[in-house]
Amino acid sequence: MQSIRNVAIIAHVDHGKTTLVDKIIHASQIFREGTETGDLILDNQDLEKERGITITSKNVSVRYKGIKINIIDTPGHSDFGGEVERVLKMADGVLLLVDAFEGPMPQTRFVLSKALSLGLKPIVVINKVDKENCRPDEVHEQVFDLMFNLDATEDQLDFQTLYGSSKHGWMSTDWKQQTDSITPLLDAIVEFIPPAPVSEGDPQMQITSLDYSNYVGRIAIGRVKRGEIKEGANLALSKKDGSLKRIKIREVQTFEGLGKTKVESVGSGDICALVGIEDFDLGDTVTTMENPDIIPRIAIDEPTMSMLFTINNSPFFGKEGKFVTSRHLRDRLFRETEKNLALRIEETSSEDKFNVFGRGILHLSVLIETMRREGYELQVGQPQVLIKEIDGVKSEPIEHLVVDVPQETSGKVIELVTQRKGELKIMEPKGDLQHLEFDIPARGIIGLRNNVLTSTAGEAIMTHRFSHYAPFKGEIPGRINGSLIAMESGPATAYSIDKLQDRGVFFVDPGDDLYEGQVIGEHSRENDLVVNVQKGKKLTNMRASGSDNNVKIAPAKKFSLEEALEYIQKDEYLEVTPKSIRMRKILLTENERKRAGNAALSS
């Protein structure tokens, strides 16, 4: 009997998944008594902690009653869906974590359907039963209905359920009986999750994840499917094009606790990290040169969007960041491609401009946000979709968009998607939701998520994958209104913002320092308008009665990074620094913009 259990944790954003892993780690006494660890040990990126989302999957392992339990934390967000499928390939069972008040949420559905279709055995954990108004029994029914709607097998429907509170560190099979420890959950994992199968023979492993270290470079992670992989072994790597490449395993590591431990060999069923393999891709198979046995590849989504990254050359350059030169920018971007596989970088004819290709706005915005946290200043252009010429026809990427949405708001979603040249392919009831499938140009997805979530009160689950290239579908309506642009540099005054309020919506507050050419608002009409918001009130020594009422200004509209990326136009840049996000025209002075406009007309 193999003493390894591989289990993935599935949960909706903010249902306490990472907190539960913390408690399991503490329960198995990985840390010495008195070690200060803080909360959310696994979400080690600041961005993950703040947004409360897991962006990259992580592995930890604990030992309980002589059995090794590998725990794989999965991203809950559908934009990182490609990550989820690969990670589930390493597991034999899943822990489905559900909030005792909210019940199963839309995004849980996406990951759970993948897990069930892979035949993984679920254990349901109903968390936060100490909350007021919680309804564990109803939630249990909802989970059963959800699995039934997702075509779970009878064995999967016969799942074990535990109730408890990750925060207070207890689990029990009956929510009315509070215990004092989390061990009932560990007992359930040992009892109900099937042991990792042992398979003798030539070594075989598929690379499903990767890590990066500044000392040894890229590290391949995967689950050994067959045989034993030893340190110093001469093996082969099967590449995407079908070729075989000789490799030597420099080091084998297994996951122990939060870190990795160097071992001499690792047997089938365990998850391990291999050091010393050069130039590998996700989905490659580690096998033998003599009789190669190749595992079918996992598809990695192609980049469908590009963005121009350039150094910050605005008048406020260098005030807030510490990495501001093109060399800094270049080194940082190329370092990112080592561990972020869906990202590609292309140099341009200019030294300080780089085209960065990614999976979508969220994918690229996580990179930009991480860079600004590290102290980088940069500017990015409007996201562009990759257009190719195929057989002499201008073609664009088409995404296969799947939206699961409550019946009553499905009409609104269809209207929003068809406005953006989406074609409805399938419409069918899926349990209690309406299941819609569209083919939509990738351009149409920019800015769509916000609109769909707004019109469905956050109930829609949107997932999209690159499907194919098809002939260009024509113009898609974008932003209709023009921009309000600052005429000169200096702080904005309440007096002039108040006088200009009928011209549009402002993005800046009185007192904000501005520069000429900065986009400071949205014009109420289609054209751009240059306005002077620095002008103060002419002061006289006479006081007019009643005219000095307090100025009432509508609050400035503030953008998140993703919203700003979706908002900017072709002739605008987004300036990103550690402290601020500003929109600006690429050409700052009005004369330059007019000259460029006249040159475009005459050509």
d(CA 40, CA 17): 9
Structure tokens at 563: 């919203």
d(CA 94, CA 10): 7
In the chain, the largest separation of any two C-alpha atoms, in whole Å, equals 98
CA within 13 Å, CB half, 276: 17
| Residue 92 Rama label (left phi>0; alpha psi -120 to 50; beta) | alpha
94 assigned ligand-binding residue: no
Residue 127 annotated in ligand binding: yes
46 is in an annotated binding site: no
Q: Is 16 annotated as a binding residue?
A: yes
**Upper half-sphere CA count for residue 45 (Cβ side, 13 Å):** 17
CB-CB contact of 460 with 413 (8 Å): yes
Whether residue 265 contacts residue 230, with contact meaning beta carbons closer than 8 Å, is answered with: yes
In single-letter form, the type of residue at position 479 comes to R
- 32 Cβ contact partners less than 8 Å away, ≥ 6 residues apart: none
Q: How far apart are CA 165 and CA 154, in angstroms?
A: 28
Alpha helices in 460-589 (DSSP H): 494-499, 561-567
Q: Whole-angstrom Cα distance, residue 440 to residue 418?
A: 8
Is residue 577 a known part of a binding site?
Answer: no
The structure tokens listed for 362 are: 């969220």
- Is residue 223 within 8 Å of 273, Cβ to Cβ? no
587 Cα distance to chain centroid? 32
Let me know the angle formed at the C-alpha of 238 by 335 and 227, rounded to the nearest 5 degrees.
Answer: 110
The answer to whether 576 is annotated as binding is no
Q: How far apart are CA 99 and CA 76, in angstroms?
A: 14
DSSP E strands in 413-544: the ranges are 423-430, 433-441, 461-471, 483-486, 490-491, 504-506, 513-514, 518-523, 529-531
Q: Is 517 annotated as a binding residue?
A: no
DSSP β-bridge partners for residue 123:
95, 160
Please report the DSSP string for 221-243 in residue order: EEEEEESEEETT-EEEEE-TTS-
Which residue type, as a one-letter code, is found at position 603?
A: S
Sequence-distant (6+) residues with CB within 8 A of 533 are: 486, 487, 492, 493, 496, 497, 500, 506, 508, 514, 520
Amino acid at 457: A
- Give the residue among 208, 196, 274 at the shortest CA–CA distance from 235: 274
CB 17 within 8 A of CB 99: no
Name the nearest CA neighbour of 94 among 64, 67, 124. Answer: 124
Rounded Cα gap, residues 18 and 580, in angstroms? 30
Phi, psi of 468 (to 5 degrees): -165, 175
Bridge partners of 263, per DSSP, are 252
Q: Which helix or strand (DSSP H or E) is residue 186 part of?
A: helix 183-192
- 155 carries a ligand binding annotation: no
- Binding residue ranges: 14-19, 127-130
- Binding residue ranges for GTP: 14-19, 127-130
